[in-house]
Copies of this chain bind each other. A is one copy, B any other.
């Protein structure tokens, strides 16, 4: 292996690093949607992810934002409005997501 190894048992491989970043249950799908649709409001996003709760969605969005993958714009209007979009950095993940999408489409049955 060529990735940075450490002896504290923390990071063993660059693949693991990537997995840690996008391994959240909804992160890949959120990024995928934002990349396709461009910009989405909170509730629009929520409707696209059947089953996600408020807590989890905002959590995942916050982490994605902290990692620089998505951009959050808040309009101080009434009613409130928040728009999410993917950043250029977030787009660097697209090759991975595309491969995952291709594979999942080819091999994922309806289970």
- Range class of the A interface residue count: 35 or more
A107 at the interface (CB under 8 A from B): yes
Of the candidate stretches A15-23, A38-46, A54-62, the one touching chain B is A15-23
Confirm or deny: A103 has a beta carbon within 8 angstroms of a beta carbon on chain B.
Answer: yes
A104 touches which of B17, B48, B49 (Cβ 8 Å): B17
A50 and B93 in contact, given A17-B108, A104-B18, A105-B2 (Cβ under 8 angstroms): no
Chain B minimum-CB-distance residue to A108? B17
A36 to B: closest C-beta gap in Å: 8
A16 touching B4 by the CB < 8 A rule? no
Q: A residues bordering B, Cβ < 8 Å?
A: 1-7, 9-19, 23, 25, 28-29, 32-33, 36, 48-51, 92-93, 95-97, 99-108, 110-111
